[in-house]
């Protein structure tokens, strides 16, 4: 077992398929660490020796900061595709946020809206560089979209600040987006 493999499996369990691991997430996405460990062990013998220490190391060493631990519980901070909505606390966004995507997807977004697609929220970056890095996951030459976050917030779009420059939002109409 590698930490990368374990991290991907935990992301799958906490973001996309908790039921496959025997988990029930609360309304904010939290589950008992002991339940997660039990679920991992039941899911695959590869994870039979995973400990709380391993979970803490993954969180500490990961540059993406996908998970957090508090009071004996763990959750994925963002990226959920589970059918029920993980509640977030709305916050006032900065004036602009950015989204990196493929040129084809950018055309559709600029025509219609920036939508969560298979996730619960739209994922946005605090700066162009981060958006570019995210966009490179899907294409060599991503298109960077500038979101007029303050304007869309004033128009009723909710924003949620996560960690390390990641913001989430509800769908954003095209009128609040421009191509850089």
Q: What are the structural domains, with CATH classification, of the chain? A: 3-76 (1.10.10.970), 97-179 (3.20.170.30)
pLDDT in tens, the chain (180 residues): 788 888 889 989 988 888 889 998 887 788 999 999 999 998 888 999 999 999 888 888 876 678 888 899 998 877 665 555 556 678 999 999 999 999 999 999 999 999 988 777 899 999 999 999 999 988 999 999 999 999 999 999 999 988 777 899 999 999 999 999
Q: What is the tens place of the pLDDT at every residue in 42-64? A: 888 899 999 999 988 888 887 66
Q: How far apart are CA 62 and CA 66, in angstroms?
A: 8
Q: What's the whole-model pTM score?
A: 0.61
**Residue of 71, 60, 55 whose CA lies nearest to 11:** 55
Torsion angle, alpha carbons of 179, 120, 104, 138, to 10: 100
Task: Output the six-digit token pair for 68.
Answer: 């957090």
User: pLDDT tens digit string along 70-81?
Assistant: 899 998 877 665
């Amino acid at each position: 077992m590698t930490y990368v493999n374990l991290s991907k499996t935990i992301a799958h369990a906490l973001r996309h398929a908790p039921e496959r691991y025997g988990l029930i997430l609360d309304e904010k996405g939290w589950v008992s660490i002991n339940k997660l460990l039990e679920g991992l062990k039941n899911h695959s013998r590869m994870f039979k020796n995973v400990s709380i220490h391993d979970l803490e190391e993954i969180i500490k060493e990961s540059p993406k900061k996908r998970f957090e631990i508090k009071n004996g519980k763990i959750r994925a901070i963002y990226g959920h595709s589970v059918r029920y909505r993980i509640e977030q606390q709305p916050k006032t966004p900065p004036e602009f946020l950015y989204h990196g995507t493929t040129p084809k997807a950018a055309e559709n977004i600029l025509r219609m809206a920036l939508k969560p697609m298979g996730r619960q929220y739209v994922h946005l970056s605090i700066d162009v560089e981060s958006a570019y890095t995210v966009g490179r996951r899907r294409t060599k030459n991503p298109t960077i979209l500038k979101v007029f976050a303050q304007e869309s917030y004033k128009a009723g779009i909710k924003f949620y600040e996560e960690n390390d420059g990641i913001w989430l939002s509800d769908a954003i109409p095209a009128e609040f987006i421009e191509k850089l």
